[in-house]
Structure 1
């Protein structure tokens, strides 16, 4: 007998994940503040992780009640979209008492996000559904229909099983819901870089590869904690290549728009779309490499295919 395969993206009654479309501050507050107040009235734990300006709007509207809410500036907490599930959403949800209905407002997409960041954002939105499947939680995701491009809004319909249209106060099913398709579509080859230091490595040259990465980072202006973060990330990724990626890989380092960018490419293939975004139990040995990279880098992009996997990390100078 063949076991039934469970769709990790299938909507469930216990987990609610609507996109909330708004046009102005009035609509924004009309959709977010009642959400928070209802959670507080029910005794449910509630967090708000939105960009700074919107965070201030909600804080001011809540008044004294804001003290009972976990408030996070998404421009900092979610600068790397790959950090949001493990470092923001699951970190809050998993800290609550068993049986609690967790409520979160999460706004990872805003006008001004670069195209490079957006690809990671939309994959994040799609993967929330798999990460929280079966959980007792509601995650409301606001989208500014006046500022965001049409393709971003179309993607929101594909990554959210329910939507709240601008000017309405009720959720309806999204007929375009297809998160697995989004994950696959945005698993796109990363743009080539013509001028980068290139260093092939294997198990014997692992220490040298790390030394090269740190030296290039320092030469391009990284120092202190940022340089330590780069060193740790490259140690994790190059080790993963040797252990899981065919025994060798290629390290590349360059600068781009005020960032030091490091890339590790090998012949391995990531088959778990939540790799690096799933919290790891305290008693589990290993499995923290890509998660750690997501938590410390300013941006992480991943492309995986039958021919191998590329992980590219940005560190702000």
Structure 2
């Protein structure tokens, strides 16, 4: 994996981008602190996006009835797959180019799976690379009573500054995005039962699509979701052939919770950690479209970049 390094930590004196973690204990503190952030941005005439989990979203909207210009989003929906949050934040900032976007983004909440938390942590680190040098503030709330200590510790590594007990301090634990992303490349657990395995090479994409479609027909996915699943696997394997050495292995299985999983392994590298997490330009020659489509279609995408190759694990739930 290549290193992506901002010119200065986000929130420093030389970078106009500010990325604080807000540590809160209860709903009252949450509404007070996040509400204050939103009101200050609106008084300054700046655009505001609030993307937080549903119950927190409802509490904020009740307290901010005087703020009709806020863009609201339920993070349990738009951020179900952590890998598609970043493109949403960048899209909002791009729509308000020339102005300082103010965003509240809460990608980790109680009830997230360990796999989701790991990819959300990767997302939080990559925000610093994606927004470096840009006039924007992204406030990320963390529930200190409901989240594991490891999540709070990682928040200090992915956020250059921390808001806690009414004070903003520099995080001594902050690390470069490349370091955090490397730490997220933990070994993936093996499936409980033997998966279906398909080796593929150049010229095999049509056969791979047929195999995946036939296999998916025996799962609990709806017909529409089966189409999405086949498309996601097709994009991932096509990307693998183009950038992963010309061949790879596809494995398919259903988890004990009924989630349908496809895993693509090849000898490739992830030269751009932001690939797939930012919307590719229509005429872009730099690629990234395949991974972006995969992130938009799937409920979770796990990425592992190691010295021996690249693994993508795609998850899709029946409902």
TM-score, normalization by structure 2: 0.93
Tell me if 1:25 matches 2:27.
Answer: yes
In structure 2, the partner of 1:151 is 150
Counterparts of 2:153 and 2:6, CA distance in 1: 22
In structure 2, the partner of 1:138 is 137
Residue 9 of structure 1: how far off its partner (Å): 6.8
8 Å Cα contact 1:17-1:140 kept in structure 2: yes
Counterparts of 1:135 and 1:281, CA distance in 2: 19
In structure 2, the partner of 1:76 is 77
8 Å Cα contact 1:203-1:242 kept in structure 2: yes
In structure 2, the partner of 1:187 is 185
Of 170, 191, 214, 1:173 maps to 170
8 Å Cα contact 1:9-1:130 kept in structure 2: no
8 Å Cα contact 1:249-1:265 kept in structure 2: yes
Counterparts of 1:135 and 1:304, CA distance in 2: 28
* Long gaps (5+) in structure 2: none
What SS class does the counterpart of residue 181 from structure 2 fall into? helix
Alignment of 1:57-72 (within 5 A): 57-65=59-67, 67-72=68-73
What SS class does the counterpart of residue 209 from structure 1 fall into? helix
Residue 216 of structure 1: how far off its partner (Å): 1.5
Residue 59 of structure 1: how far off its partner (Å): 0.4
In structure 2, the partner of 1:162 is 161
Q: CA, structure 1 residues 181+314, in 2 after alignment: closer, same or farther (shift >3 Å)?
A: same
Residue 6 of structure 1: how far off its partner (Å): 8.1
What SS class does the counterpart of residue 33 from structure 1 fall into? helix
Structure 1 stretches of 4+ with a deviation exceeding 6 A read none
Counterparts of 2:61 and 2:201, CA distance in 1: 51
Residue 210 of structure 1: how far off its partner (Å): 1.3
Alignment of 1:44-55 (within 5 A): 44-55=46-57
Q: How many pairs align?
A: 308
Cα deviations by residue, 1:189-244 (Å, 9 ceiling, x for unpaired): 21122411101111132211111112222211212331121111111111112121
8 Å Cα contact 1:187-1:302 kept in structure 2: yes
8 Å Cα contact 1:18-1:139 kept in structure 2: yes
* Long gaps (5+) in structure 1: none
TM-score, normalization by structure 1: 0.94
